[in-house]
Amino acid sequence: MRTSRWARLRSVAAGKLRLGAWYPVEVASAREVSVLVHGRVERVARALVDLREQPPREWTVVRGPFNAARVPASAREGYVVCPNCRQREPIPEGRPAITRCGRCNGAFVVAWVREAERAAGVPGASGAGATGPETLRGDLRMTRRRAGRNRRTGAERRTTQRRVVVIAVLAERRMAERRAGRDRRAGVDRRVQAQRRRRSVPW
């Protein structure tokens, strides 16, 4: 399903939304915004989120420190959030323009300028409508992981495994039937040849 709006928390708040991650908006009203989080709808006050019209295409920079138990120890001083899979990574050293995600293998621009503007309180620095160019090609040596809502469930995996087993069994059965048919034809041919030899023998 395509969405025309995306939301991101402005500051740490209670709930399942990850600070710095963009989420697709289901419904937006004057008081609250409903966003999709792992396939479920979560409601959050509109005053707590930034909204944008275009899908995020850049890493979000989040500065710490954090004491929350949900934040990994490596990201307590700050982290960047992947725009594709919402994976948290430690802030890269040297302020590179483009960084590759270790989870989904996507290469995206890091929003250093946008983060500095937000820290300085510049109006309109929420990232609305910002799309950074991708100049780094994808790494073809690795396959992209499925996004959370695109991953197959356990039932779907079991259904696929059953199909593979059924196909293998049917193939084995057809091979066995062909071998049996060849054996039957060979037996008939041997009997016919024996009868012909008997007829040709003089009494």
In sequence order, the β-bridge partners of residue 88 are: 81
pLDDT at 131: 38
What gap in Å lies between CA 194 and CA 201, rounded to an integer? 11
Which residues on adjacent β-strands are paired with residue 81?
60, 88
Average pLDDT over residues 81-86: 90
Handedness of CA 28, 122, 19, 150 (dihedral sign): positive
Q: pLDDT tens digit string along 107-126?
A: 999 988 765 555 555 444 54
Mean pLDDT throughout 62-78? 69
Tell me, what's the pLDDT at 135? Answer: 42
**Residue 157 confidence (pLDDT):** 64
Residues paired with 18 in a beta bridge: none
Look at residue 130 in the predicted model and tell me its pLDDT: 40
Per-residue pLDDT at 31 exceeds 80 = yes
The predicted structure's pLDDT at residue 153: 67
State the distance between the two ends of the chain, measured CA to CA, in whole angstroms: 88
Look at residue 168 in the predicted model and tell me its pLDDT.
77
Q: What is the pLDDT of residues 148-179, one digit of tens each?
A: 555 666 666 666 666 767 777 788 888 888 88
pLDDT tens, position by position, 48-60: 999 999 888 999 9
Averaged pLDDT, 82-90: 89
In this prediction, residue 90 has a pLDDT band, given cuts at 50, 70 and 90, of confident
Q: What is the mean pLDDT of the chain?
A: 75
Please give the single-letter amino acid code of residue 84.
N
